[in-house]
Structure 1
Amino acid sequence: MLLKKPLYTFLFIVIAAIAIPAAGLLLTENKTTPDVQEPTVDVVRSDTQKTESFPLEEYVAGVVAAEMPASFEKEALKAQAVAARTFILTQTLKGLDVTDTVDDQVFKDEEDQKEMWGEDFETNKTKIEAAARETEGEVLVYNGKPITAAFFSSGNGQTENAEEYWQSAEPYLVSVASPWDTAAPNFEQEVVLTKQEVEEKLGVSLPESGSVGAITKKTTGGRIGAITIDGKSFTGRSIRETLGLPSADFQMTVSDGDVVVTTKGYGHGIGMSQYGANGMAKEGKKYGDITAHYYPGAVIGDVQTFLKR
């Protein structure tokens, strides 16, 4: 998930039969609790550019299916469901539309899931729908407001302070230990680029061989805050995004005309580490323990509290 330019639309239908338009969630009657209305989410599908509507909990399950491996522990899937539901709520309250891409949250409907899972479709679908159902309506709240529930694949053993990557601080998006990340298959990776490509993209001249750059600042989460290459200063984020690296925790070396970049972690490092969540779940932690660890100070609230305002 990348917090770039989320696009969400919501409509609220008043039970008294007066429809009040707002951007993107449509309130429909919940069959199990008639006095509670379930929102639906309008999603702009990337393949057709058409808007389709999905019940909130079906949408949440579709995000979990797309964003987290179905093989993960159920408590990790439940933590992801709560984060996904919170993310869509915060964007909805801003009156924005939503896509099914990493610009917001990746979402896969039933047909997408069948294609993705093949013969494991029914098993995975049942598991993920249970994670959404067992957390139905739950969102993360800090000081009475839904949080920005950022999440990422895996870290370098520590999450990041939001302001050290996005330049905007949040009291619940602070650096915490995430030692479970070391078990992630994408914890350490190697990216090989040509020396010419790196020089052109960064506008620098690199040595013929040896290490590249002098790190001048490290972030609280152990990533590169600032690095100087050929007298030119960069942030770790700018290098990561320009070169398409998995993480802002990296080292670069020139060898035989190539630049070999070794990285730790995958993603921006802010909020909940998905592999960290799975590691916690394997140790017996519940989804509430996971969200409390990765979003310090945030508590679980009810989505209906915010939809009724």
Structure 2
Amino acid sequence: MAAKEGVRLQHESGWRLLALGMETKKSSLIINLAARNNKIEQSCASIGSSLDSMRLKRTAGQGQRASESLYTRVEGKRPGVQDRKSLKRPLPPSESEFGAALRSGALEAAERAAVESDPFQLNRRKDAMKPNGNAALPRPPRSSELPAPRSLRAVRVRVPAGTRAHRSFRHRGRNSAKLGAALASLAAAAVLLAALVGSRSSPGPATAPLPGAAEQPAAPGAGSAGLGPVAVPPAAQLPAAPAASELPSVSVYLTKTGGIETLPLEQYVTGVLAAEMPADFELEALKAQAIAARTFIVRRLADGDRSGVPVKGADVVDSVDHQAYLSSKELDKWPELGKSEQLAKLRRAVEETKGIIMTYHGKPITATFFSASGGYTENSEEYWSLKLPYLRSVPSPWEKTVNPSFKQTVTISMNELFAKLGLKTPALPVTASVKDKEPSLSSAASFQIKAYTAGRSVKSMLINDHSFTGRELREKLGLRSAQFTMRLDGDNVQITTYGNGHGVGMSQWGAHGMAKQGYTTTQILKHYYTGISFEQASALLKS
């Protein structure tokens, strides 16, 4: 009987020692877990500040609401397959075996070795001891609850139901790896998104033209369609009209008859207006054209310029070399032709702008004008060699809506094109015979636009290794403007032009479009001629 009581006491003492040891190790485990959790939460907080959408929600794993067994290794290596099988079905030891193990201190050494080798496996909560000092000790274990006896490989501990299980750091390490991979993917996506946004916000590299085809200009002709509201200068006050005696006369060389017609300045302006602009244009556009025509001739008179005049005694010729002009005899026939209203409208435009010219820093400007732009006017130096501060490229989107001949396409044969350019027609390439298909000149020719002007016209073009300016191509091929595209069609070339004229100064169709939208004469002129002022011609000619 005494022997049994001694065994029982030994069992009870062993269990109490085991419980105290596990409580101690559990406390150190909780401290280590808290420290590691703090480090992880600090890292996640720093990441979450920049990635609000990736806020990390860390929650402790929910323990299984059931009684479960925890095996703690007592050797320095993980149990093998056979070991795990033996742990699943432990053989119940006899009381004498357990007592011998307890007396030899093997249980305490096994528990200590298990904690030192893998402390995070002992993360089960133990029942707290009752506060009463006389609390009953744990009952002796049943044989089915005793640990496996095979070399004391593991200690099986029964954990009460409802105990909360803590995730191991091995599991958390895998989650951290997944988090790192997710953050790396997010960073790569951010870099890709920035690259895509950058490619949208900045212009991409120019694409090389296809062999044998002409490169398309930047927004050819259609540049006017994509323009937003154009900033037009405010209206200005025109100076008072002078007395008729204060204005000079003009001598015009008539190219058809070879004679010279001398007439007052305002009558000359009326003849130019009739020849240069359709009478059915808006009145404000006609008045703008009258001021431009008057400025042109006053500048020549003030400078004593007689250039381009074939005979002595004339100030200007009646052709487009200077300004187109209809003589007084031709205008006198307009009433007979049913154009009385048109003639009256022209005379009104001249009368309402009598003597007014445009000046820049007190001097008459070179008031160039042309028929219609392709969406923009040109800088003076990109058509002529002289750079003038008031002849700058400006947007002119109004032609596309009012000019019926805004866009025109002509077809010219390859042989004719090369002949007009003074080039030798390229030889046909030597190719293998293809059924029902013969080689064409287009496969041997090469067209490449190299540069554009500020007004979107062709600045330079390479044709079979020969370089031409846009102005040269316009004049040699008889094109309406230097804003064009080319497309090869067999042995022919289709050339599409936009606008009409050299493109420098005021666009006449543009002025008409502006007047239809309610712009005044001074607004039209100040838009096409940058930084100009208005003065009376009589004051300049007297000085």
Q: TM-score range by the shorter chain?
A: 0.7 to 0.9
Whole-angstrom distance in 1 between the partners of 2:491 and 2:371: 31
Whole-angstrom distance in 2 between the partners of 1:160 and 1:121: 35
- Does the aligned pair in 1 maintain the 2:296–2:367 contact within 8 Å? yes
Q: Which digits, 9 at most, give the CA deviation of each residue in 1:115-162, with x for residues without a partner?
A: 678633211110000000000000000011100001000001100000
Residue equivalent to 1:269: 503
1:78 aligns with 2:287: yes
The one-letter code matched in structure 2 to 1:159 is T
Cα 1:212–1:107 change in 2 (3 A) is farther
For the residue of structure 2 that corresponds to 1:179, the secondary structure is: coil
Q: How does 1:1-309 map to 2 (within 5 A)?
A: 33=243, 36-95=245-304, 96=306, 97-113=315-331, 119-183=337-401, 184-204=403-423, 205=425, 208-209=441-442, 213-309=447-543
Structure 2: gaps spanning 5 or more residues: 1-241, 307-314, 427-439
Structure 1: gaps spanning 5 or more residues: 1-31
**% same residue:** 44
- Does the aligned pair in 2 maintain the 1:250–1:261 contact within 8 Å? yes
Which has the higher mean CA deviation after the structures are superposed, 218-227 or 244-253? 244-253
TM-score between both structures, scaled by the size of structure 2? 0.49
The one-letter code matched in structure 2 to 1:209 is S
**Shift of residue 253, structure 1, vs aligned partner:** 2.7
* Bigger fraction of residues in strand: 1
- Does the aligned pair in 2 maintain the 1:155–1:273 contact within 8 Å? yes
**Shift of residue 111, structure 1, vs aligned partner:** 3.0
Q: With CA pairs under 8 Å and 6+ residues apart, which has the higher RCO, 1 or 2?
A: 1
Whole-angstrom distance in 2 between the partners of 1:50 and 1:203: 37
For the residue of structure 1 that corresponds to 2:354, the secondary structure is: coil
Larger radius of gyration: 2
Whole-angstrom distance in 2 between the partners of 1:114 and 1:69: 17
For the residue of structure 2 that corresponds to 1:209, the secondary structure is: helix
Cα 1:230–1:292 change in 2 (3 A) is same
TM-score between both structures, scaled by the size of structure 1? 0.85
The one-letter code matched in structure 1 to 2:248 is P
* Bigger fraction of residues in helix: 2
Query: How many residue pairs end up in the alignment?
Result: 277
Whole-angstrom distance in 2 between the partners of 1:212 and 1:117: 55
Cα 1:60–1:195 change in 2 (3 A) is same
For the residue of structure 2 that corresponds to 1:296, the secondary structure is: coil
RMSD: 1.9
Q: Which runs of 4 or more aligned residues in structure 1 lie more than 6 Å from their structure 2 counterparts after TM superposition?
A: none
The one-letter code matched in structure 1 to 2:536 is D
Whole-angstrom distance in 2 between the partners of 1:140 and 1:92: 14
Whole-angstrom distance in 2 between the partners of 1:255 and 1:218: 24
The one-letter code matched in structure 1 to 2:262 is S
Whole-angstrom distance in 2 between the partners of 1:118 and 1:291: 34
Whole-angstrom distance in 1 between the partners of 2:298 and 2:454: 29
Which has the higher mean CA deviation after the structures are superposed, 295-304 or 199-208? 199-208
Q: Which digits, 9 at most, give the CA deviation of each residue in 1:45-70, with x for residues without a partner?
A: 01111111011001001101100000
Whole-angstrom distance in 2 between the partners of 1:180 and 1:118: 34
Cα 1:256–1:111 change in 2 (3 A) is farther
- Does the aligned pair in 1 maintain the 2:247–2:537 contact within 8 Å? no
